[in-house]
Structures are given as structure tokens and as C-alpha cells.
Structure 1
Amino acid sequence: MRFCVACHCQQIALLLRIRCYHQYPIDPSHLIEVEFNRICGDRGTAGKRQQQNTEPEGDRKDPQTRTNSIVQHRLIVLQALGSNRHHRLSVTLPLCTAAVSFACTKPQIRTAHRTGPRPKPRFRRETRHSVTLDTAPDIVIAHWAEPADWSQQRIGTGLINDTFLLSGPGDGKLVLQRLHTIFAPEVNEDIDAVTRHLAAHGMVTPRLVLTRDGATSIIHENRTWRVLSFVPGYSIDFVDSPARARAAGALVGRFHAVLDGFDYEYRSIRPGVHDTPLHLQNLAAALMEKHDHRLFDATAPLAEDLLRQAELLRDLSDLPERHSHGDLKISNLIFDSSGEAVCLIDLDTLTRMRWPLEMGDALRSWCNPGREDRRPGKLDLDLLTAALEGYAGTTPGLLKREETGALTDGLIQICLELACRFAADALNENYFGWDPTRYPGRGEHNLARAGAMSDLLRDVRQQEAGIRRLTLSLAG
């Protein structure tokens, strides 16, 4: 059956009238005109182009196809984000309102009838405001030591901060970091408080090294820099054995157990952490605005599938928040020569979080035996079992049964959320780091990540019953 643009525009208008009328009253006839003209641009509709016969023959071979594709993509986005189940996640009205507000900005279109002021879109883009550094400036190093006495080497595979290993007199080693702009300088107060508590309870942890003036960090060219003590060992990018997963689980369990009951309020609060509705909004906005992007046709079907799957997410808001690391991917754990996990690094994400999301983020990294960008992403049940056994062995009596029972839901939500973030940045190309030796552009690398994470999400859903049995056994 041929796809009908007019019918789908009517569905868009009906959907938006149903979902948004009480906040942003709109005449559906104007929505049809707005959406259709916004898609087709100043050249008018595909039908008018055919009648006027003003474009070159090569451009008129299939003038309806591109327009149909874009309308269909947007319809799917709006339908997925306008479901009743999404309203529970507080995403429906802001998304639809933002979609309408964006659509009504074309000057040649009469704005929709409304009463009261127009609500503002609630989109908050994830952006990376700087380029990656290959070397740290001497003027920065001088706040801690004489630059001439220390050599530096860029280390780590993190996607956010820039990290350098400083080597100096007497085999001394320090870790110098330039923080991403999403982290306020106050994050160092949190790191100092938490690491003091961990060290007091016998845990190995990196500690902040004060500047010559006694400060925890400095500001250079509007960026925060700090130095941490060096913890010997190595990090990995994927888990290679059940023994490794068990060691990782045991370390994180000790971390959670030591911080349980720690009386501290975090100074640095990052808005939007695991705010899944917000990441769905950002993905929807990218689909609406980036239809001319070189990767749109490859990204849109994947993104639409993710938006549909979001309807099945469970609401975890009734669970308690606990002290959390906030980013337990396997590369944020340091291992020693015997294979034991000795400490957690990259502590900028310290916060209070619901346990299923904290551990869901860990397990999506630990239990996928391949690279984050290698397809197909899969969940290895042997690695999952070992990780949970290691964790349970160091956290007796720590968790409530409803928390462990929701671990599978947290894992699903994390996989979906991260896939949405990668898919959005495949089109926006302004946040996650990328490997220019393996991909032609940031978008291509993020599209590979989105595909692998979507595969992992699908595999988790297929094994959901078995995963739930394993996670419930954690509660005893």
C-alpha cells in the first residue's frame, strides 16, 4: 500500500490535539499545514513540485519518497512519545509541546490559536564544549610541580575527561585530569569527602593532591584541572572471564557497603543523570531536526525502535536512593597483577542513585563480552552470575528485596537510555568522544555504539526470565 502523506499529517494533528490541547491549544488544520510545510521546506509539497515540473528530471524521479520517509519518521516519534505509558514518565506533554513549538517557528506559517503564553521546550542538549588534548600545558602542571621534572603521557579510554599520567623524580607518579564542563569544581569536594571515608575504612582509593597553594583544583581557560594520587594497576575495556566479573562485583559490593549510612550531602549535583525521559526527548529532537544528516537514514529506524521500546519501561521512582559511583563501566575499575579489583576511579559521578540503575549500568558493561561498539551486543549469563555472586559475598543484608527484584528493569532502562544517547549523538555529533583510527567520523562511531547497545537491550529482553531468577537469588 502506498504511504499517504496527507493521512499521516492528519494523524499527527489528531495525536497532538489529544495529547497537548489543554496545555497548548491548537487548531489541527494549522498543524497539518505547519508539519507538512516544515517537512517539505520552501519548495512546497512534493505534489506541487510534480505539477509545476520545475525541478530537474533527476530530482523528480521519486519526489514523494523522501517526504514520505521524513513524515513517517516524525509520526512514529510522536506516536511513541505520546503514549499513555510515557505520560507516567513525565515525557508526553513536554515532548509534544516542544515538537509543536519547533514546528511553529517557520515565518510563512500562521501560528496556531492558543490561550496564554507559549510554553518553552524543555530540551537540554548534551554537548561537549572542547576538543581533546594530546598534552597538558606546563602552566597547569606548575601549580603542583616543576614541569621540567615531570614527563606526561595521555592515558585512559574515557569519553569525557582528559587524563594524563605524570612521571617524576623517584618513580613518582600522579594523575592529572582536565574535567569536562559538565562537572562543576565542587565535584572535588565530593571526591575528597568520599575518598577520606573510604580510606578510613581500609579501602584503596585515589586521593586528591592539593596544589602548592593548598587548593583541590585550579581553573585554566575556563576548565577545571586537578591531580590525583596514582594507584598501581591496570584497567580493561571488557570483561574476559567469570573470575574477573566476580572480582568486579566484590569490589563494588565493598564500596556500597562502606558508604551505606555515610552521612553526606553531595555539593555537585548533575541534572539529568539517568533522566531517561530527557534522553528520549533529545533523541526525538535529533530526529526532527537532523533529517538532512548523512546518517539519518541509518539512524532513524534504530531510533524509532528505541522510542517504541520505551513504552515498556518500569517506573523505579519508589525505590530508595543510595550512595553510588554513578558510572561503573569496567574501565573505571583498577585491577592488580593477580586479577583482583583494587579500587574504583573516575569519581566525578558520585551521587545518590537507585540501586537497580547503578548496578544495571555496571552489568551492561561487565556482562557484554565484546567492545561497546562491536555488534552484536550480547549479555553473557555466566559473567552475570559471577558478578552477582561476587557482589552478594560482600553485601550481606544490605539490599531490600524490592531493589534486587528491580535489577533487571534497571538493566533494561540503562541499555535503552544509553542506546538513545548514542543514537542522538550519531546525528548531533557534539558529545561523546570517538576513535578516528577506526571510524571516519564521530557520528559513525556513535551509530556503531547505538547499534551494539540496542542489540544488548534486545538480548536482555530475550533472556529476561533467566536474568530475573538470577537477580532474585541475590536476595537470598
Structure 2
Amino acid sequence: MLEKILSVYGLNPEKITITPFGDGLINHTWKVSGNTGNYIFQKVNTSVFKHPQAIDENISGIKTYLSGKFPDYLFISPVKATTSDSLYQDNGEYYRLFPFVEGSHSLNYLENEDEAYEAAKQFGKFSKLLSGFDTKQLNITIPDFHNLSLRYEQFVSACSGASAERLKHASDYVNFVNQHKEIVDTYLSISQNPEIPLRVIHHDTKINNVLFDDHKKGMCVIDLDTVMPGYFISDVGDMMRTYLSEASEEERDLSKIKIRKEFYQAIFNGYMKEMDEVLTDAEKQYFTYSGKFIIYMQAIRFLTDYLENDKYYGARYEGHNLNRAINQITLLKEYLKLEDEL
């Protein structure tokens, strides 16, 4: 079946090999190798992205802008099929083909602060180059993705509808979330501040969404499905959430969750290398807040899902999402201890 679809891109099914590629959790991804070159082939997860055409339109619009303004920037956009479409539909499923960037690789975890610096610099560069792009031209690919006010409302609703057993197990963490509602209030003030503009934001700044060259220098950002209008705190905060601790969100040994201050400095240096002259003075005041913002929101999302019987993230074992929430709350506590120093 995949060979049939790839033929629409002019690839000879008899002269290509298809192998699973990467560790992405959302879209199905393969590497396609053949005599015409190497490619990345994806099947879009329509359960998460309800309107794949909206993503395709965003990427196309950004490509046109960058090609005109910054033609030397490495921007990875889909290859057009023989139908002239960059998004191909077959039996209700959506597919796309990207060129494989030779000499590039991605990372699944950070080994040192230099890698954090390079990644932060690339995400900053992406937003800087698009600072003149009209965000109104972008589609919202996941509505309210980083709307903390809404996430908190969903959490409150989940508390009121949760079973007595789950509410009992989660009571200490529910109390912690409520005790730190000022994080929500600050987000609301940011969203109402005219000096804090909506920008072109990646919204998923995990380390594996940056391509590195063989010298460990950042080349560009990838996985543009969540590129939408947003606040800079989303990109900076997601880097802090996923870079600062060596432990992942799945870690159950809470003693391993520590803030690496040198990684915070690397994120700041890399991002501000590109964005220092772009961000307003009002935005810069919330750089450290961005870490609280995303960590708190992810804790809420895991806790909400636990209280709602794991209907969104699912659970590989009993209490999985509660453990994830505890993990993120622990990370937030460690962050808060260092907030003034940071």
C-alpha cells in the first residue's frame, strides 16, 4: 500500500526500500531510500490533527515567506506529488513526503548544555525570521493547545466529576495545583497585555525537533505541525520542561528530578542570541515565568486525565497519569526553589 502511494510522488516501487524511522509518538514515519535519493514519509495522525490541510497551508505560507525574505534558511517542506499537491489523500488518510537532509541527525536526549544552546538558538532563529510574518495567515492546528486558563478550567471540572477513589489518591496534588493558581492568573494577564504580541511559535520544542549536523551544530527545526500563533513563553517553557532535568516525564524515582542550572543558562543564551532584539521589554520580564507556565500546565493535563479515567493520554499501567503528574509537580517544585536565582 505504501509503495502505491509513493508512486504518486514519482518513486518507482521496485527501486525503493521503506523502513520505520524515528521515535515520534504522533505521526507514523518511515525513511524511504532509492536511486533518486532519500526521503522521510509520513502518515498524519488525524485523531490529533483533525484538519491536515490546515497544517499543509501553514507550511506552504511560511515556505513562501522564507523563500522570499531569507532564501538561505534551511526550511524543510513537503515534496509535491505528481498531482501538484504536497499533501496526498488516500481512503481518508493523509500522507506527505519530505526530503531527507543528508548529514543531519536528531537527538532523543541532551548530553550537554552546548546541545541545549544550539537547539534554543534554532527555535529562536525560527521565530526571529518569521517576526515579520502576519500570524493571522496561520491556521490554528490544535485549538487552545497552550491556553492555560482553559486547561485550569478543565482541571476544575475533572475534580468535580472524578470518582471518590481517584480524587483521594490525587488529593495532595490537586491541593498543590490550586495553591499555585497565580501561575494561571499571570498567564491571563499576559494574554491581555498588548505589549506581548502573538508570534509564529513552534509549540513543540523538544530536542528531537531540531536537526544537528555532524559537528553538533543546529541546522534547523523540524516537525512543524504545531506551528501556530502563540506567545514566546510556549517555546521557551517547553525547552525548560524537557531540557532542565535529565529525568523524563516518565521517571518514577523522584530523586532523579533535578534542575540543571547550566542548561537554563544555555537555553537563555541560545534563544536570546536570536530573539534579544525581537522580544519586547514586557516579554523579557516573563522569561523565567515561561518554565513555570509549561511545567504547571503539563502537570495539570496529566492530573486532569487521571481524574477523567485516562481518556486522553491513555495509561500503560494503573496510576500512570497520576505518576506523570507527580513527576511534573516535582519538577515544578525544584524549579520554584531556584526561581529567584534563575
Interval containing the TM-score (normalised by the shorter chain): 0.7 to 0.9
CA distance in 2, matches of 1:386, 1:451: 26
Letter of the 2:32 partner, please give it.
L
1:17-28 aligned within 5 A: none
Aligned to 2:207: 330
Aligned Cα RMSD in Å?
2.6
Q: For 1:110-129, what per-residue CA distance to the aligned partner results, in whole angstroms no more than 9, with x for missing partners?
A: xxxxxxxxxxxxxxxxxxxx
Aligned to 1:385: 265
Letter of the 1:446 partner, please give it.
N
1:383-462 aligned within 5 A: 383-426=263-306, 427-432=308-313, 440-441=316-317, 444-462=319-337
What SS does structure 2 have at the residue aligned with 1:348?
A: coil
CA distance in 2, matches of 1:433, 1:159: 13
Distance 1:164 1:422, change over 3 A: farther
Distance 1:221 1:420, change over 3 A: farther
CA distance in 1, matches of 2:2, 2:19: 12
Q: For 1:426-465, what per-residue CA distance to the aligned partner results, in whole angstroms no more than 9, with x for missing partners?
A: 344343377xxxxx43x65433332221111111111111
CA shift at 1:368, angstroms?
Answer: 2.1
Aligned to 1:465: 340
Letter of the 2:26 partner, please give it.
I
What SS does structure 1 have at the residue aligned with 2:101?
A: coil
Instruction: In structure 1, list runs of 5 or more residues that go unmatched.
Output: 1-135, 435-439, 468-476
What SS does structure 1 have at the residue aligned with 2:180?
A: helix
Distance 1:191 1:243, change over 3 A: same
- Whether 2:53 is the aligned partner of 1:177: answer no
Distance 1:284 1:271, change over 3 A: same
Letter of the 1:189 partner, please give it.
E
- Whether 2:275 is the aligned partner of 1:275: answer no
Letter of the 2:163 partner, please give it.
H
> Percent sequence identity over matched residues?
23
CA distance in 2, matches of 1:227, 1:430: 32
CA distance in 1, matches of 2:227, 2:246: 26
CA shift at 1:412, angstroms?
Answer: 0.9
CA shift at 1:418, angstroms?
Answer: 0.9
Aligned to 1:150: 16
Letter of the 2:335 partner, please give it.
V
Letter of the 1:431 partner, please give it.
Y
Instruction: In structure 2, list runs of 5 or more residues that go unmatched.
Output: none
Q: For 1:385-440, what per-residue CA distance to the aligned partner results, in whole angstroms no more than 9, with x for missing partners?
A: 12211222233421112111112222212111111112223344343377xxxxx4
Distance 1:370 1:459, change over 3 A: same
CA distance in 2, matches of 1:165, 1:288: 46
Letter of the 2:58 partner, please give it.
D
CA contact 1:359–1:407 (8 Å) conserved in 2: yes
* Residue of structure 2 aligned with 1:266, choices 109, 130, 137: 137
Distance 1:146 1:291, change over 3 A: farther
Aligned to 1:215: 85
CA shift at 1:291, angstroms?
Answer: 1.6
Number of residues paired by the alignment?
Answer: 325
CA shift at 1:264, angstroms?
Answer: 5.3
Question: Could you state the TM-score of these two structures normalised by the residue count of structure 2?
Answer: 0.84
* Residue of structure 2 aligned with 1:291, choices 151, 156, 163: 163
* Residue of structure 2 aligned with 1:189, choices 57, 78, 81: 57
Aligned to 1:241: 112
Distance 1:190 1:399, change over 3 A: same
Question: Could you state the TM-score of these two structures normalised by the residue count of structure 1?
Answer: 0.62
CA contact 1:175–1:230 (8 Å) conserved in 2: no
CA contact 1:238–1:368 (8 Å) conserved in 2: no
